[in-house]
Structure 1
Amino acid sequence: MKLLDTLHRWTGGLLGLVLALLGLSGTILLYDYLWIGQPGTGDPLRGDLATVAATTEKLMAMPGAQGITYADERFGLHQLRFGKEAGAYASQSGDLVTRWASQWERPELWIFDFHHHLFAGDSGEWVIGIAGLAGLFFVISGAILWWRTRKTFQLRLWPKRMSRPSIVMHHRDLGIIAAPLLLISIVTGTMMIFRPFAMVMIAPFGSPAEAAKAIEPPKYKGGLLTGKPDYTAMLAEGRRRFPDAEFRILSLPRKPGDPISLRMRQQAEWLPNGRSTLWFDAATGELLGARDALAMPSGAQAFNMAFPIHASKVGGWTWRILLTLSGLAMTMLGSFAVWTFWFRRPKPAKRPAPRALATS
């Protein structure tokens, strides 16, 4: 038990700040659609084919346009992508609301990048994944360590005093209360970072090998991107294939020969951007293939539920409030763990001075 306590304290001292910042940034992102503050964010969704097709043709005709994330019921603006970081918001009529050349001009974008990549791309994802596994260890080991002192449990939102013993007691008791929510947040977040971990978690729902194969996009090859793709025909094909689905993401090829992709979300899908996808030849507009997310193996469908659970895209305000409490608890637990470990460490006990030998 002493070894477990030592590991819990040291890993908390080393990675607690990362988890605290992830908890804080994740909590902010739960409400990003409320504070973006651009005209039209609250507009009702106009998802009929004629409106979406006309807007798509208008926006994608802009120089450098590479794709669109369409408006939904929560956020009433389309997001247009121009380059690595450049983009714009546009109304559902196709009028630009605002543009940016870098993610640093939009708080919701750089906070998202920090939460998912720590501003470090793939390397940052590895750090977040390791922190997620460490967080899973914290929840389990913390529950085991709490059991010894369960009789002294006290429910406090803030430490009684800012002394090390009071903070440690508060950390222990707050941790056990938040443990179920923290477990859900950490597991679902880590699933999106570490694919092997995700395959272990979905194993009870079906074959991980089948799920991994179903999740990977197929390898289609076509011609070079034509100067004026027929987006209206592509959207019409998407609506024909999935009549009740919303248009979610249109993406141009990243490399020569890659297809144009159109992601849609069927009503039964939890994933906000859906995984029902169509691929079109970039040169001719011919349909190369389609994937029905609701026909995917059960393991793949379980994997697709991780993000909406993690980001409160399901469950309404009740689940969003619970995840808010989880994020704030993670922020408090992580920051206090770092503070007590590095700045409020117990002072070593002073050894008593040796007594002078009596002289005869």
Structure 2
Amino acid sequence: MKLIDTLHRWTGGIIGLVLAILGLTGALLVHKDSWVLLPHAGDAQVQETAHLAAVTQQVMGDPVAQPQSLTFASQNFGLLRLTFKEGAGAYADQDGTIVTRWQSQWERPEIWMFDLHHHLFSGDSGETVIGIAAVCGLFFVVTGILLWWKTRKTFAFRLWPARMSRPAIVRHHRDLGVVIAPLLLLSLLTGAILVFRPLAALMFGPGAPALIDKALQGPPPRPAKLNDQLDWAQMIRTARARFPDAEVRSISLPRKDNGLITLRMRSPEEWLPNGRTTLWFAADNGALVASRDAADLPMTVRGYNLLYPLHTAKVGGLPFRIVMTLSGLALTLLGSLAVWTFWFRKPKAVRTSARRPAVPRYRQSS
């Protein structure tokens, strides 16, 4: 148990700040759709096929101002989002009129905060660090429960330490951690699996990672250059004809040299915000190359697709968003105080002063 305690303290002191950043940014991003205050952000979602086809043709059919991708308005956010190269982007109303533009992610707090939460501003390497932090967080939860069990009789729930002394902070850390442990397990486990897909084997079985990779793989790349005169509206009509009940979510230009345009849709039974129902169109002539119905995915893959909406509270409405907000704020508090007590509130060494041996006194005989 002493070894567990040492590992818990040292790992927490090193990685606690990263977990605190993830907790705070996650708690804020859960409510992102509510605090992006722009005109038409609260407009009702429009999913009428003719309207979507016309807007898509207008936005994607302009070769001069063509975005890399177009994300359509959702039920909770009434603006279109356009993304361009080098971090530039724009929001537009559902008629395609630009509401605001930016040339860098630093101009939009919700975008740079998303990058911080997912990549620590460091791309793939930052994402790896986040995954490692999430795995460490799972270790903290398990070992924390084991360490708490010894002192369970002194349990006292507090939102804040009784005093800012090291013993009071450690006790608060221990007791708050055991209360919030189920929510932390949900946040950290889903986050770790989303970063490190092989960890899906822990939840879905040994063959799950390979099955997920195969099921979510797109069609083979094809050598085709993007045509400036594509009929983007027809792609929307084709998608709606094939999946009439699905919500059109996004359309993206080919990545690298695959020569395929990707159109994503969300079926009514899907929790994933942008869905896994996908169609691929040839970049040179706009012909449909392949399609995937999310309802046909294996049960394991459909279970994996639930992790992201659970992690980001995209299901359950306001009550679940509040629950995941509490998880993020608790992680922020636990991580930041762990770092502070470990590096700056160490117990002072007890100084012992050497005492001179007592000299016996002898009474002088008379």
Q: So what's the TM-score if we normalise by structure 2?
A: 0.95
Alpha-carbon offset, residue 81 of structure 1? 1.3
Question: How far apart, in 2, do the equivalents of 1:85 and 1:257 lie?
Answer: 22
CA–CA distance in structure 1, aligned partners of residues 99 and 338 of structure 2: 43
Report the Cα distance in structure 1 between the residues aligned to 2:303 and 2:359, rounded to whole angstroms: 78
Bigger shift: 264-273 or 249-258?
249-258
Whether 2:274 is the aligned partner of 1:276: answer no
List aligned pairs for 1:58-69, cutoff 5 A: 58-62=58-62, 63-69=65-71
Distance 2:213 2:83 in 1: 28
Give the structure 2 partner of residue 26 of structure 1.
Answer: 26
Percent of aligned pairs sharing the same letter = 55
Q: Secondary structure at the match of 2:85?
A: coil
Give secondary structure in 2 for the equivalent of 1:280.
Answer: strand
The residue number in structure 2 matching 1:134 is 136
Q: Distance in 2 between matches of 1:255 and 1:192?
A: 23
What are structure 2's unaligned runs of at least 5 residues?
362-366
> How far apart are the structure 1 equivalents of 2:299 and 2:241?
25
CA distance in 2, matches of 1:208, 1:338: 34
- Equivalent residue, structure 2, for 1:217: 218
Aligned to 2:305: 304
* 1:16 matches 2:16: yes
Give the secondary-structure state (helix, strand or coil) at the position aligned to 2:87: coil
Q: Following TM superposition, by how much is the alpha carbon of 1:207 offset from its aligned partner in structure 2, in angstroms?
A: 4.1
CA–CA separation in structure 2 for the residues paired with 1:90 and 1:278? 24
| Alpha-carbon distance in 1 for matches of 2:51, 2:356 | 92
* 262-271 vs 238-247, greater mean Cα deviation: 238-247
User: The residue matched to 1:154 in structure 2 has which SS?
Assistant: coil
Deviation at 1:232, TM superposition (A): 1.1
* Deviation larger for 107-116 or 211-220: 211-220
- What is residue 92 of structure 1 aligned with on the other side? 94
Structure 1 runs not aligned, ≥5 long: none
Distance 2:111 2:214 in 1: 30
Trace 1:83-232 onto structure 2 (pairs within 5 A): 83-203=85-205, 207-232=208-233
In 2, Cα distance between equivalents of 1:225 and 1:159: 60
> d(CA) in 2 for partners of 1:262 and 1:299?
23
Residue of structure 2 in register with 1:252 after alignment: 253
What secondary structure does 1:84 align onto? helix
CA offsets 1:233-289 (integer angstroms, 9 cap, x no match): 111111111111111110011224420010000010110000110001111111110
Per-residue displacement from partner, 1:171-200 (whole Å, max 9, x unpaired)?
000000000000000001111111111233
Structure 2 counterpart SS, 1:249 = strand
**1:208 and 1:299 in contact (8 A); partners too:** no
Answer whether contact 2:279 2:292 (CA < 8 A) is retained. yes
- State the alpha-carbon separation in 2 of the partners of residues 7 and 354 from structure 1: 38
Q: Secondary structure at the match of 1:42?
A: coil
Contact persistence 2:198–2:209 (CA under 8 A) = no
Separation of aligned partners in 1, 2:274 and 2:349: 55
Q: Which amino acid counterpart does residue 211 of structure 1 have in structure 2? A: I
Asked if structure 1 preserves the Cα contact closer than 8 Å seen for 2:59 and 2:66, the reply is: no
Aligned to 1:324: 325
- How many angstroms does 1:216 deviate by? 2.4
Measure, in 2, the Cα distance between the counterparts of 1:217 and 1:346.
Answer: 57
| Greater Rg by CA | 2
**RMSD over aligned Cα, in angstroms?**
1.6
1:33–1:75 CA contact under 8 A, matched in 2: yes
In structure 2, C-alpha distance between the alignment counterparts of 1:116 and 1:208, rounded to whole Å:
21
Structure 2 counterpart of 1:73, one-letter code: Q
The answer to whether residue 343 in structure 2 is matched with residue 342 in structure 1 is: yes
Deviates more, 1:222-231 or 1:335-344: 222-231
Q: Is the 8 A contact 1:211 1:298 kept in 2?
A: no
Is 1:49 the counterpart of 2:49? The answer is yes
Q: Distance in 2 between matches of 1:152 and 1:183?
A: 24
Instruction: Kindly state the Cα deviation for residue 209 of structure 1 after the two structures are TM-superposed.
Output: 2.4
Deviations 1:302-333 (A, max 9, x none): 11111100000001111111101100100000
Distance 2:86 2:66 in 1: 11
How far does the alpha carbon of each residue in 1:7-43 deviate from its partner, in whole angstroms, 9 at most, with x for none?
Answer: 0000000000100010000001011111111101100
Aligned 8 A contact 1:182 1:326 in 2:
yes
Question: After the TM superposition, which residues 281-292 of structure 1 pair with which residues of structure 2 at under 5 Å, given as runs?
Answer: 281-292=282-293
Using the alignment, how far apart are the partners of 1:199 and 1:258 within structure 2?
A: 33
1 CA distance for matches of 2:85 and 2:197? 27
Per-residue deviation, residues 90-110 of structure 1 (Å, max 9, x unmatched):
000110000111000000000
In 2, the alpha carbon distance for the partners of 1:256 and 1:169 equals: 56
